[in-house]
């Protein structure tokens, strides 16, 4: 196969020659640089490249082009080369329009013209595109086959598990001929769903998370029995702790129950995270963080449920659901929070069958032409509304309060106001969910007046519950279950009961010495991705201080 291709598309010949020249100067030894003067010409070239079997690593397209602008072109280019990385070239005056347009397609970056000096403004962006393309690759991937039913809750959870762990899979419904044929070949029946067939032909009937994780090559077993640092939870705080812990030489293992990313990992687009002016999906951000942690040597264990944490002398011991244990000098608890259950009749029975907690991006294709309802008024609900507006005919946000202003970022409120098929209903709650096999109708209450509406999709984003009951009494928590740390433990002028050291707890340290807390699970924490990452890094600094004291 010939060299992979970097393509640049611009209707201005001078700009086109300039960007091609700069790309060849830096990447000419390893990549073939080609340029086109219009979106139509570029698509013709991409079709020829596809027929020849060559690879396209990255595409740079001008935002303003006649007949076909950069966004429209990149949408069509994605159909031909879905793994190619994408960037927009735009003038300063079009920056706002370009950023808003980027939400239409999954563009990685935008570049302002002119980009002089390229060493500072062009090459770092292209380096990031190329690095991501190399990690993802452009080769055919072996897919897991997943056979289930659209309105079967275990089938939904299995789809969500595979998607969030970036495991390539193909979905087959038991209602389709192909799905039934695969079931027959697997010597399984509809009663066995979900059924998973791995690329090597292994058949798993109604597998658990750990079983499927083992089968598809995810790491579930620790390589050692003792570590310097165990990080519990793979959200932004846990990933931040793993990156900084491993990069600073600590033997680090991160343990995650479901998939790295936490709630942030399910976000369709995070637009207020520092350093990503055109936004980044939660999956992209957390995938990069996971790869970064592993690059520094951190182990990442998936599908491991932590059920106990205790101090045994100088060791801190973590117990898994299967009874096995690992020990370490220190622990960072970064288990995050989960969405609170919606207290309405019928919700629990229809969970995973039309009622979902979080964005459940795997359901997006099923929402085409449907009316989707979203419960919640914070950023996560707003981001989901913007995402589903590209698929559903209508999206309605249901808010208990009088407006979004008190709980949602201003940029997101403005974005929602500009999308025609998103509607906001205030002073409105869900009273009941109706349906037999799946959600069919919702009973809503607005200012005391009830009505029943047709809908097959309800996504819930209400509040946060820390789920810390498993910690026991040794680790102090507030009345809501969030873990108290540092100054909160000595607010009455006394150290916490059972504290054994001749000093006060460090700022992020819990009531058990050597157990630190970062992110949303910590009492009084700021519920933002950036602050969670910062606390993860800060906790590692305090771990070093603790270890030096021993």
Domain boundaries along the sequence of the chain = 5-136, 144-215, 226-338+465-549, 355-460
Question: Is 80 exceeded by the pLDDT of residue 130?
Answer: yes
pLDDT band, residue 242 (cuts 50/70/90)? very high
Q: What is the mean pLDDT of residues 339-362?
A: 89
Q: What is the mean pLDDT of residues 331-347?
A: 94
Window from 117-121, 291-295, 313-317, 342-346 with minimum mean pLDDT: 117-121
Which whole-number Å values give the CA distances from 381 to 235, 269, 404, 418, in the listed order? 18, 11, 10, 16
> Cβ distance 318 to 325 under 8 Å?
yes
The closest alpha carbon to 460, from 532, 335, 360, belongs to: 360
Condensed to tens digits (0 to 9), the pLDDT of residues 505-528 reads 999 999 999 999 999 999 999 988
CB atoms under 10 Å from CB of 190, counted, come to 15
More confident residue, 42 or 111: 42
Predicted pLDDT at 105: 62
The closest alpha carbon to 384, from 370, 366, 365, 397, belongs to: 397
The closest alpha carbon to 34, from 56, 66, 53, 11, belongs to: 56
Question: Is 60 exceeded by the pLDDT of residue 141?
Answer: no
| Residue 268 in tokens | 């369709």
| Domain with residues 5-136, CATH architecture | 3-Layer(aba) Sandwich (3.40)
Distance CA 119, CA 290 (A): 27
**How far out from the chain centre does Cα 332 lie?**
21
pLDDT band, residue 371 (cuts 50/70/90)? very high
> Cβ distance 531 to 497 under 8 Å?
no
Question: Is 70 exceeded by the pLDDT of residue 103?
Answer: no
pLDDT band, residue 545 (cuts 50/70/90)? very high
| Residue 285 in tokens | 């951000």
Tell me whether the omega of the peptide bond preceding residue 117 falls within 30 degrees of 0, making it cis. yes
Same fold, 144-215 and 355-460: no
The closest alpha carbon to 513, from 334, 315, 326, 320, belongs to: 315
> According to CATH, what is the number of the domain 355-460?
3.50.50.60
Strands of the sheet with 56-62, listed across from one edge = 32-36, 5-9, 56-62, 85-91, 109-113
Condensed to tens digits (0 to 9), the pLDDT of residues 409-454 reads 999 999 999 999 999 999 999 999 999 889 999 999 999 999 999 9
| Residue 32 in tokens | 């073939």
pLDDT band, residue 1 (cuts 50/70/90)? low
**Contacting residues for 176 by C-beta, under 8 A, at least 6 apart:** none
Condensed to tens digits (0 to 9), the pLDDT of residues 282-298 reads 888 888 899 899 999 99
Taking the CA atoms of the chain, what radius of gyration do you get in angstroms? 25
Q: What is the mean pLDDT of residues 126-136?
A: 85
* Superfamily of domain covering 144-215: Glutaredoxin (3.40.30.10)
- Which range is most confident: 34-43, 91-100, 127-136, 163-172? 34-43
Predicted pLDDT at 104: 58
pLDDT band, residue 479 (cuts 50/70/90)? very high
- Tokens 């067939």 belong to 197
**Contacting residues for 320 by C-beta, under 8 A, at least 6 apart:** 304, 305, 306, 307, 326
pLDDT band, residue 140 (cuts 50/70/90)? low
CB atoms under 10 Å from CB of 35, counted, come to 21
**How far out from the chain centre does Cα 319 lie?**
26
| Residue 393 in tokens | 């005919």
Predicted pLDDT at 166: 79
Percentage above 70 pLDDT, the chain: 96
pLDDT band, residue 488 (cuts 50/70/90)? very high
Which CATH topology does 226-338+465-549 take? FAD/NAD(P)-binding domain (3.50.50)
């Amino acid at each position: 196969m010939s060299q992979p291709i970097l393509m640049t598309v611009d209707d201005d010949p001078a700009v086109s020659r300039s960007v091609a020249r700069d790309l060849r100067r830096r990447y000419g030894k390893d990549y073939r640089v080609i340029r086109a003067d219009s979106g139509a010409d570029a698509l013709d070239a991409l079709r020829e490249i596809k027929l020849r079997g060559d690879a396209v690593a990255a595409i740079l397209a001008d935002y303003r082009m006649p007949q076909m602008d950069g966004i429209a072109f990149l949408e069509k280019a994605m159909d031909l080369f879905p793994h190619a990385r994408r960037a927009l070239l735009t003038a300063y005056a079009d920056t706002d329009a370009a950023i808003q347009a980027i939400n239409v397609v999954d563009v990685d970056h935008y570049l302002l013209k002119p980009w002089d000096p390229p060493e500072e403004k062009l090459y770092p962006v292209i380096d990031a595109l190329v690095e991501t393309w190399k990690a993802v690759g452009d080769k055919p991937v072996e897919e897991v086959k997943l056979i289930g039913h659209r309105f079967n809750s275990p089938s939904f959870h299995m789809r969500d598990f595979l998607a969030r762990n970036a495991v390539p899979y193909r979905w087959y419904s038991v209602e389709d001929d192909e799905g039934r044929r695969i079931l027959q070949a697997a010597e399984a029946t509809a009663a066995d769903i979900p059924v998973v067939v791995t690329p090597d032909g292994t058949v798993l009937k109604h597998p658990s998370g750990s079983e499927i994780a083992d089968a598809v090559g995810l790491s579930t077993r620790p390589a050692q029995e003792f570590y310097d640092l165990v990080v519990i939870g793979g959200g932004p705080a846990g990933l931040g702790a793993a990156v900084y812990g491993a990069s600073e030489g600590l033997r680090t293992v991160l343990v995650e129950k479901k998939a790295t990313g936490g709630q942030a990992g399910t976000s369709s687009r995070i637009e207020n995270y520092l350093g990503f002016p055109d936004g980044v999906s939660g999956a992209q951000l957390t995938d990069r963080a996971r790869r970064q942690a592993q690059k520094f040597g951190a182990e990442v264990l998936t599908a491991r449920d932590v059920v106990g944490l205790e101090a045994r002398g100088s060791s801190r011991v973590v117990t898994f659901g299967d009874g096995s244990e690992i020990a370490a000098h220190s622990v960072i608890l970064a288990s995050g929070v989960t969405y609170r259950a919606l207290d309405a009749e019928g919700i629990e029975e229809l969970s995973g069958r039309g009622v979902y907690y979080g964005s459940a991006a795997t359901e997006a294709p099923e929402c085409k032409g449907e009316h989707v309802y979203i419960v919640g008024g914070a950023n996560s609900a707003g981001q989901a509304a913007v995402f589903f507006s590209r698929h559903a005919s209508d999206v309605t946000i249901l808010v208990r309060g009088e407006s979004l202003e008190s709980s949602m970022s201003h940029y997101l409120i403005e974005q929602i106001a500009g999308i025609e098929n998103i509607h906001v209903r205030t002073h409105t709650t869900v009273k009941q969910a109706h349906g037999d096999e799946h959600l069919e109708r919702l009973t809503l209450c607005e200012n005391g007046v009830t009505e029943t509406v047709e809908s097959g999709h309800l996504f819930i984003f209400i509040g946060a519950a820390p789920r810390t009951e498993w910690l026991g009494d040794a680790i102090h928590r507030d009345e809501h279950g969030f873990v108290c740390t540092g100054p909160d433990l000595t607010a009455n002028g006394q150290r916490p009961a059972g504290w054994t050291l001749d000093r006060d707890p460090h700022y992020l340290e819990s009531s058990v010495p050597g157990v630190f807390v970062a992110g949303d699970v910590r009492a009084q924490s700021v519920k933002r991705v950036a602050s969670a990452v910062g606390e993860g890094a800060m906790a590692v600094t305090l771990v070093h201080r603790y270890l030096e004291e021993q």
